[in-house]
């Protein structure tokens, strides 16, 4: 209870100190995030602004290289012992920031911590296929899964290893406020709402970062982030839209960095109730949307149209699907055939979190082929609720983008299409079977066969219209050399300065 | 007098209780933050598990009583998202809002009072009308507009001010201007009215007749007498400044309570929202009470309840 | 805000109506022009404010694309800015007008009742006023919109129901003054008598003060709607309002300055005019008010 008065005093002092002027170091690197990290305990939150920061404080079991391939990190190699057991060999030279060694015990502890329902981790659902973790030696761990689980490695990319001894000693609350890991950067301090500071870990076992100190600032307003970049206050800013990117391009001291991510934008339709339950109506909608027009006209050309919900960065992507061509005449004909009149009401529900230009552009395209589409908006929590509600409450259609953070079909297609998922607004027994088969085989080719079937059914029955693979845009100083990754990983030690 | 004071205190307590209850239920009408906390693709089981762990599947009445019980023990709870005590989070943000509100007050007084004096002295002239419009400029523009204009002009183009955040003394200047501009007009008007009333008094004409330097007359006597209503209004305008801070803080990335409130509401982080509203209500009611007392202390003839 | 009074300014020497109007006629004119625009929007606007043309995005004022002349340029999805501004006048003014009307009716009624009946009724109503007033206005609006959902209708409802206490305070204070500070027992009059008393005798006397508040609140409501739009909680696309166009336009100041500048100018002129008119009204009708 006394703690809060201490925080007050400290904050007042900090504010006074902040007012007395910041220290500008040449190897200080400033990143503007949208919001401050909610939590730096890697198991507590699912939140981009948080993991941009804590990914650098902690090491994960495995990681992805810049090409997107899964490569060793804490685990150096792995082998499938049997269908539901994988054995991992760990590096022996990793030290936490307090000098203690990272052992198999820490890995086991981390797995058990995040899969414990009482820990209340929102990430539980991504790891709960792991039913047990056993240290079979000081540097080997066996993970047991619930049946064959081909997505295990993809999910382990996100599992950060925390120090068992330290966490047990200081408790979860203290650890949350003062995290300690084994990564290339150490946690220094957090000034709530202002900035989070990291310092380079000079004893890091892997590639060391170039920057000595890194500050993450919370700047909610995108126009202000761009202003910060232009005035030199920030070196790298996240989450800008293509129109702001144009402003950045106009200034030759800064540049835009882009990557085609694993986010895929789609237009979800209700296949079970309402006017969209008629396949012809869904086909008409697919023909009415000019994907390339949206990409070129609104998105600055950064994104890429897709015919299925998968992009080349996903496991489960299958080539050869054409999708539905932009054909407003055909759309009108289909609507007429299905008996849609100018009085049939269609509701497009959305939320300000989505790019309203795209939502409005799609609405306009549908209006132009004769559909009476009205927009209704709510806050994001309201949108999430409606998107996962019953078909009757869902309405007819919505625009969204999907990312599982796993670059695997199972994390995308299963929740969107399988009848057991609250997201799915369609039902197809064969689709269900193919999805279940896809997630229970460890053989990549077998999986791809099943997912090919899923794509075929999806193209024929149109539970949703896949739109485009979203590009993620960053703004940076001209001299920054960095290749953003499709899974938005944000590793500071992969960034450097030119020359 | 003290019995009246006691009664007002009791009524204030009831008001605070009312505020807390109102906000508690309104927030929960919209649902809970479970869905917002989970990644895409969380299954129904995942959702229900988390919801149960966080206690949101309990009946509303139970949640409310639980909250009241904690409140009575002065426990504001933990942020749902950050898992840190609400008191800690708020305590670390309060100084910034105070700084900003003070800065805004300084700007509003620093411009409003002199302008008000000039307006009183040069009454019914074109200068007065121009000044009246000038101080109203701040109240006639949305702060997110004036804010970004200030940033573009001073930070990006001229480069003399930081574009956002907290970074040395200069960073409070632009946000203070944007915020202070909101209430400049009020101070100008109150000053003008107070000075005008003083100007009409006998001692002024006596002083003028005696040939005393008019400016000295103003400084010594008029301002001293006019100070009281200005101070009283300051107490009331602080509430307006705090409200205006919400948007100013968002535009300037100023890490105060206002910005925290907007984010917490969007994230449905109920404990933080409740904490901030509780604090806001407390401050607002306290300021009102203070203004009433100030005024009655100065002029006991004025009855406090029910006078225009 | 409490009911304290500030010293009364000695009244200006009596002046004729013509001189009164001479002081504020430009602002009345501006306001009238906007009101006219709002009223006749569908007839005056050159094009449909919602029709997009993705190939004509972000064009500067005066451009012609495919035969369509965009006098003030186009916005981020290629809609004509001038048409959107004209229709936006309608939305901004309607939101302000309706919410002010709602608050005025609720606030004045409750204030009068509290001031007339005194006793327990007075305590309940005035504590309710305290409660609503002690929550920072914008926070209450945001929280409520989070429940109701954004959009034109809900914005009007939320604004109307969060601002009434200000009117109630004034109505209450004025009613007390008008009915004298002596306690009037309500039991003396029957139902119809009270109503007639309030409407015929009390209301006309407090109308001046109420009108002043309403005028100043009008400008404030226009800005409030803009603020809600900035936070994504105001009128929803594609419905144009000056606040939402300005809010979006902020992101294009470097590349398409016209999107923000013109609605910003309109907002500024409208609210400034209303504020100056209200200022003037206050000097004439209710110079004692502390608002």
Q: Which pLDDT tens digit goes with each residue over B252-274?
A: 888 889 889 888 888 889 999 99
Give yes or no for a contact between A320 and A450, defined as CB atoms under 8 angstroms apart: no
CA distances from A31 to A53, A235, A261, C44 (A): 10, 6, 20, 48
Strands A140-145 and A185-191: unpaired
**DSSP annotation of A462:** -
Residue B202: partners with Cβ closer than 8 Å, 6 or more residues away = none
CA distances from A448 to A86, A311, A431, A451 (A): 22, 13, 14, 5
Among A190, A299, A321, smallest CA distance to A240 is for A299
Q: Do A122 and B41 touch (CB under 8 A)?
A: no
Q: Do B280 and C231 touch (CB under 8 A)?
A: no
Helix (H) or strand (E) holding A365: helix A356-368
CA dihedral A479, A481, A487, A491 (to 10 degrees): -100
Which residue, chain included where needed, has tokens 């944000």? A490
Nearest chain B residue to C260 by CA distance is B145
- Alpha-carbon distance of B109 to B103, in angstroms, equals 10
Q: Which pLDDT does position A135 carry in this prediction? A: 93
Which residues does chain C have within 8 Å of residue A382's beta carbon, measured at their own beta carbons? 146, 149
Q: Compute the nearest-CA separation of C66 from chain B (Å).
A: 33
What does the pLDDT look like over A309-342, one tens digit per residue? 999 999 999 999 999 999 999 999 999 999 988 8
Chains that touch A (3 or more CB pairs under 8 A): B, C
CA dihedral B1, B4, B6, B9 (to 10 degrees): -130
pLDDT category, B104, cuts 50, 70, 90? very high
| pLDDT at A134 > cutoff 80 | yes
The crossing angle, in degrees rounded to 10, of helices C242-249 and C258-285 is 140
For an interface test with C, which of A220, A296, A357, A473 has the most C Cβ atoms less than 10 Å from its Cβ? A357
- Alpha-carbon distance of A360 to A376, in angstroms, equals 11
Chain B residues 179-208 within an 8 A CB cutoff of chain A: none
ipTM: 0.79
For an interface test with B, which of A1, A38, A412 has the most B Cβ atoms less than 10 Å from its Cβ? A38
Q: Do A223 and C149 touch (CB under 8 A)?
A: no
Q: What is the mean pLDDT of residues B272-283?
A: 88
Q: Which pLDDT does position B220 carry in this prediction? A: 72
Q: Compute the nearest-CA separation of A369 from chain B (Å).
A: 32
| pLDDT at C165 > cutoff 70 | yes
For an interface test with B, which of C5, C9, C228 has the most B Cβ atoms less than 10 Å from its Cβ? C9
C220 vs B287, higher pLDDT? C220
Among A411, A354, A449, A436, smallest CA distance to A123 is for A411
Instruction: Specify the length of chain C in residues.
Output: 291
| pLDDT at C182 > cutoff 50 | no
Give yes or no for a contact between A455 and A466, defined as CB atoms under 8 angstroms apart: no
Which residues does chain A have within 8 Å of residue B165's beta carbon, measured at their own beta carbons? 194-195, 217, 219, 228, 233
Q: Within an 8 Å CB–CB cutoff, is residue B71 touching chain A?
A: no
How far from the centroid of its chain's Cα atoms is residue A484's Cα?
A: 13
Coil, helix or strand for A106?
helix
The phi, psi pair for A96, rounded to 5°, reads: -70, 170
Burial B47-74 (b: 16+ CB within 10 A, else e): bebbbebeebeeeeeebbeebeeebeee
Helices (H), chain B: 2-29, 34-37, 44-54, 60-72, 86-121, 126-136, 143-150, 173-180, 184-199, 202-210, 214-217, 223-252, 257-267, 270-298
Q: Which pLDDT does position B306 carry in this prediction? A: 37
- Alpha-carbon distance of A25 to A419, in angstroms, equals 55
For an interface test with A, which of C55, C142, C236 has the most A Cβ atoms less than 10 Å from its Cβ? C236
Among C46, C156, C48, C60, smallest CA distance to C99 is for C156
Give yes or no for a contact between B200 and C10, defined as CB atoms under 8 angstroms apart: yes
Q: Do B165 and A217 touch (CB under 8 A)?
A: yes
Coil, helix or strand for B254?
coil
Token pair of A404 as six digits: 């599982």
- Cα angle C91-C75-C69, degrees, rounded to a multiple of 5: 100
Beta-strand runs (E) in A221-287: 236-237, 254-269
Point out which residues pair with A137 in neighbouring strands: A140
The phi, psi pair for C32, rounded to 5°, reads: -60, -40
- Alpha-carbon distance of C53 to C76, in angstroms, equals 10
Which residue, chain included where needed, has tokens 């919001």? A35
| pLDDT at C187 > cutoff 70 | no
Burial B160-177 (b: 16+ CB within 10 A, else e): ebbbbbbbeeebbbbbbb
- Alpha-carbon distance of A388 to A423, in angstroms, equals 5
Token pair of B80 as six digits: 């749902």
Cα distance between the two ends of chain C? 9
Point out which residues pair with C6 in neighbouring strands: none
What does the pLDDT look like over B45-54, one tens digit per residue? 888 888 898 8
Q: Tell me: cis bond preceding B98? Omega within 30 of 0 counts.
A: no
Q: Compute the nearest-CA separation of C87 from chain A (Å).
A: 17
Token pair of A283 as six digits: 């086909």
Chain B residues 159-178 within an 8 A CB cutoff of chain A: 159, 162-169, 171-172
Is the sign of the CA dihedral B206, B209, B210, B211 positive or negative? positive
Residue A82, classified by CB atoms within 10 Å of its CB into exposed (0-12), middle (13-18) or buried (19+), is: exposed
Nearest chain A residue to C76 by CA distance is A357
Q: Which pLDDT does position C3 carry in this prediction? A: 43
- Alpha-carbon distance of B247 to B145, in angstroms, equals 10
Which residues does chain C have within 8 Å of residue A395's beta carbon, measured at their own beta carbons? none
Q: Within an 8 Å CB–CB cutoff, is residue B102 touching chain A?
A: no
Q: Do A403 and B40 touch (CB under 8 A)?
A: yes
Chains that touch B (3 or more CB pairs under 8 A): A, C
Nearest chain A residue to C79 by CA distance is A361
CA distances from C163 to C136, C138, C279 (A): 11, 10, 19
Please tell me which of the candidates A247, A378, A379 has its beta carbon nearest to residue C254. A247
Token pair of A68 as six digits: 């997107």
Q: What is the mean pLDDT of chain C?
A: 82
Q: Within an 8 Å CB–CB cutoff, is residue B239 touching chain C?
A: yes
Which residue, chain included where needed, has tokens 């509430």? B239
Give yes or no for a contact between A182 and A161, defined as CB atoms under 8 angstroms apart: yes
Q: Do B169 and A385 touch (CB under 8 A)?
A: no
Which residues does chain A have within 8 Å of residue B173's beta carbon, measured at their own beta carbons? none
Among C145, C152, C159, smallest CA distance to C231 is for C145
CA dihedral C17, C22, C24, C28 (to 10 degrees): 90
What does the pLDDT look like over A438-450, one tens digit per residue? 998 889 999 999 9
Token pair of C247 as six digits: 């809010």
Among A388, A97, A438, C239, smallest CA distance to B47 is for A388
CA dihedral B188, B193, B195, B196 (to 10 degrees): 130
Please tell me which of the candidates B262, B281, B308 has its beta carbon nearest to residue C3. B308
The phi, psi pair for A358, rounded to 5°, reads: -70, -45
Token pair of A118 as six digits: 């009482």
Strands A236-237 and A372-377: unpaired
Q: Do B306 and C172 touch (CB under 8 A)?
A: yes
pLDDT category, B217, cuts 50, 70, 90? low
Nearest chain A residue to C153 by CA distance is A376
Give yes or no for a contact between A271 and A277, defined as CB atoms under 8 angstroms apart: yes
pLDDT category, A303, cuts 50, 70, 90? very high
Token pair of B139 as six digits: 């109240």
Q: Do B190 and C9 touch (CB under 8 A)?
A: no
CA dihedral C247, C249, C253, C259 (to 10 degrees): -140
Which residues does chain A have within 8 Å of residue B47's beta carbon, measured at their own beta carbons? 388, 422
Q: What is the mean pLDDT of residues C200-206?
A: 79
Q: Do C255 and A379 touch (CB under 8 A)?
A: no
Q: What is the mean pLDDT of chain A?
A: 90
Q: Within an 8 Å CB–CB cutoff, is residue B285 touching chain A?
A: no
Q: Within an 8 Å CB–CB cutoff, is residue A15 touching chain B?
A: yes
Q: Which pLDDT does position A365 carry in this prediction? A: 93
Token pair of C179 as six digits: 């009915």
Please tell me which of the candidates C54, C236, C253 has its beta carbon nearest to residue A297. C54
- Cα angle C16-C18-C20, degrees, rounded to a multiple of 5: 75
Nearest chain B residue to A217 by CA distance is B165
| pLDDT at A97 > cutoff 90 | yes
Among A80, A82, A63, smallest CA distance to A72 is for A63
Q: Do B255 and A173 touch (CB under 8 A)?
A: no
Q: Do B84 and A415 touch (CB under 8 A)?
A: no
Among A461, A473, A454, smallest CA distance to A414 is for A454
Coil, helix or strand for B139?
helix
What does the pLDDT look like over C113-151, one tens digit per residue? 888 888 888 888 888 888 888 887 788 888 888 778 788
Which residues does chain A have within 8 Å of residue B36's beta carbon, measured at their own beta carbons? 380-381, 384
Which residues does chain A have within 8 Å of residue B73's beta carbon, measured at their own beta carbons? none
Residue A473: partners with Cβ closer than 8 Å, 6 or more residues away = A239, A240, A241, A242, A245, A256, A257, A258, A302
pLDDT category, C237, cuts 50, 70, 90? confident
Q: In chain B, what is the greatest distance between 2 CA atoms, to the nearest angstrom?
A: 88
Chain B residues 35-94 within an 8 A CB cutoff of chain C: none
Q: In chain C, what is the greatest distance between 2 CA atoms, to the nearest angstrom?
A: 75
Q: Which residues of A touch C (CB under 8 A)?
A: 222-223, 226, 241, 243-244, 246-247, 250, 293-294, 296-298, 352, 356-357, 359-361, 363-364, 375-379, 381-382
**Predicted TM-score of the model (pTM):** 0.83
Burial A389-416 (b: 16+ CB within 10 A, else e): eebeebbbbbbbbbbbbbbbbbbbbbbb
Q: Do A219 and B164 touch (CB under 8 A)?
A: yes
Q: Which pLDDT does position C284 carry in this prediction? A: 77
């Amino acid at each position: 209870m006394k703690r809060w008065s201490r925080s007050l005093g400290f904050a007042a002092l900090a504010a006074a100190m902040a007012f007395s002027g910041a220290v500008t170091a040449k190897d200080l690197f400033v990143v503007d995030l949208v919001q401050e990290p909610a939590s730096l305990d890697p198991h507590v939150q699912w939140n981009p602004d948080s993991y941009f920061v804590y990914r650098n404080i902690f090491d994960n079991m495995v990681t992805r290289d810049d090409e997107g391939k899964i490569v060793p990190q804490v685990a150096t190699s792995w082998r499938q012992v049997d269908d539901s057991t994988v054995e991992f060999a760990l590096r022996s030279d990793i030290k936490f920031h307090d000098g203690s060694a990272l052992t198999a015990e820490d890995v086991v502890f981390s797995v058990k911590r995040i899969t414990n329902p009482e820990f209340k981790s929102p990430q539980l659902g991504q790891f709960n296929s792991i039913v047990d973790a056993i240290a079979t030696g000081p540097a080997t761990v066996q993970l047991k899964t619930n049946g064959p689980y081909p997505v295990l490695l993809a999910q382990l990319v996100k599992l950060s290893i925390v120090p068992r001894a330290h966490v047990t000693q200081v408790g979860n609350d203290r650890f949350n406020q003062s995290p300690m890991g084994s990564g290339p950067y150490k946690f220094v301090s957090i000034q709530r709402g202002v900035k989070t500071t990291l310092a380079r870990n000079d004893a890091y076992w892997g590639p060391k970062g170039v920057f000595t100190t890194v500050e993450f600032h919370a700047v909610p307003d995108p126009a202000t982030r761009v202003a910060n970049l232009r005035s030199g206050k920030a070196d790298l800013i996240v989450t800008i839209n293509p129109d702001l990117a144009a402003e950045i391009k106009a200034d030759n001291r800064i540049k835009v960095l882009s990557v085609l991510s694993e986010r895929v934008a789609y237009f979800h339709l209700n296949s079970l109730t309402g006017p969209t339950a008629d396949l012809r109506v869904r086909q008409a909608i697919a023909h009415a949307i000019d994907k390339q027009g949206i990409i070129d006209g609104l998105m600055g050309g950064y994104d890429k149209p897709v015919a299925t919900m998968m992009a080349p960065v996903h496991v489960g992507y299958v080539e050869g699907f054409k999708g539905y061509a932009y054909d407003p005449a055909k759309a009108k004909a289909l609507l007429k055939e299905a008996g849609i009149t100018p009085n049939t009401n269609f509701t497009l529900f959305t939320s300000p979190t989505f790019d309203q230009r795209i939502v409005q552009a799609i609405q306009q395209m549908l209006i132009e082929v004769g559909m009476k589409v009205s927009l209704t908006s709510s806050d994001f929590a309201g949108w999430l609720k409606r998107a996962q509600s019953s078909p009757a409450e869902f309405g007819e259609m919505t625009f969204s983008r999907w990312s599982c953070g796993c670059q695997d079909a199972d994390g995308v297609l299963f929740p969107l299409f399988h009848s057991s998922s609250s997201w799915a607004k369609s039902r197809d027994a064969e689709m269900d079977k193919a999805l279940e088969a896809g997630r229970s085989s460890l053989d990549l080719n077998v999986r791809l066969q099943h997912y090919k079937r899923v794509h075929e059914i999806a193209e024929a029955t149109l539970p949703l219209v896949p739109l485009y693979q979203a590009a993620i845009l960053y703004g940076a100083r001209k001299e920054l050399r960095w290749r953003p990754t499709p899974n938005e990983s944000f590793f500071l030690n992969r960034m450097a300065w030119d020359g | 007098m003290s019995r009246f004071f006691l009664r007002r205190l009791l009524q204030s307590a009831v008001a605070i209780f009312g505020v807390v209850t109102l906000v508690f239920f309104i927030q929960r009408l919209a649902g809970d933050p479970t869905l917002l906390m989970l990644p895409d693709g969380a299954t129904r089981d995942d959702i229900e598990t988390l919801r149960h762990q966080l206690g949101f599947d309990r009946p509303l009445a139970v949640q409310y009583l639980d909250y009241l019980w904690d409140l009575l023990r002065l426990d504001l709870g933990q942020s749902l998202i950050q898992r840190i005590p609400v008191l800690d989070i708020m305590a670390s943000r309060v100084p910034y809002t105070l700084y900003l509100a003070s800065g805004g007050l300084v700007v509003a007084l620093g411009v409003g009072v002199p302008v008000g004096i000039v307006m009183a002295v040069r009454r019914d002239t074109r200068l007065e009308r121009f000044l009246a419009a000038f101080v109203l400029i701040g109240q006639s523009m949305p702060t997110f507009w004036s804010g970004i204009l200030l940033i573009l002009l001073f930070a990006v183009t001229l480069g003399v001010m930081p574009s956002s955040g907290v970074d040395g003394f200069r960073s409070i200047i632009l946000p203070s201007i944007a915020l202070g501009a909101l209430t400049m007009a009020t101070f100008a008007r109150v000053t003008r009215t107070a000075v005008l009333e003083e100007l009409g008094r006998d001692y002024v004409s006596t002083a003028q007749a005696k040939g005393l330097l008019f400016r000295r007359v103003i400084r010594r006597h008029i301002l001293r007498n006019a100070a009281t209503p200005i101070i009283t209004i300051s107490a009331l305008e602080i509430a307006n400044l705090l409200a205006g801070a919400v948007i100013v803080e968002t535009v300037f990335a100023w890490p105060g309570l206002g910005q925290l409130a907007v984010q917490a509401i969007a994230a449905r982080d109920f404990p933080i929202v409740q904490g901030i509203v509780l604090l806001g209500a407390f401050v607002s009611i306290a300021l009102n009470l203070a203004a009433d007392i100030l005024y009655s202390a100065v002029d006991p003839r004025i009855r406090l309840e029910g006078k225009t | 805000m409490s009911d304290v009074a500030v010293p009364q300014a000695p009244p200006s020497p009596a002046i004729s109506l013509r001189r009164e109007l001479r002081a504020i006629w430009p602002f009345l004119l501006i306001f009238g022009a906007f009101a006219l625009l709002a009223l006749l929007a569908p007839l005056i606007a050159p094009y449909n404010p919602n029709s997009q043309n993705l190939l004509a995005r972000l064009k500067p004022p005066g451009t012609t694309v495919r035969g369509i002349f965009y006098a003030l340029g186009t916005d981020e999805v290629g809609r004509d800015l001038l048409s959107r501004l004209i229709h936006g006048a309608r939305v901004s003014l309607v939101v302000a007008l309706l919410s002010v009307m709602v608050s005025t009716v609720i606030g004045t009624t409750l204030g009068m009742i509290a001031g007339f009946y005194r006793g327990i009724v007075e305590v309940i109503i005035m504590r309710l006023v305290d409660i609503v007033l002690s929550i920072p206005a914008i926070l209450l609006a945001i929280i409520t919109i989070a429940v109701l959902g954004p959009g034109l209708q809900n914005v009007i409802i939320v604004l109307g129901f969060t601002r009434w206490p200000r009117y109630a305070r004034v109505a209450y204070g004025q009613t007390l003054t008008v009915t004298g500070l002596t306690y009037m027992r309500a039991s003396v009059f029957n139902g119809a008598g009270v109503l007639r008393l309030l409407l015929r005798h009390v209301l006309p006397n407090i109308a001046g003060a109420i009108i002043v508040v309403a005028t100043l609140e009008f400008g404030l409501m226009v800005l409030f709607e803009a603020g809600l739009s900035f936070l994504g909680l105001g009128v929803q696309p594609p419905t144009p309002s000056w606040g939402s166009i300005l809010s979006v336009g902020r992101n294009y100041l470097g590349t398409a300055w016209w999107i923000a500048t013109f609605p910003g100018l309109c907002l500024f002129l409208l609210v400034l005019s209303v504020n100056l008119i209200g200022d003037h009204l206050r000097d004439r009708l209710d110079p004692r008010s502390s608002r």
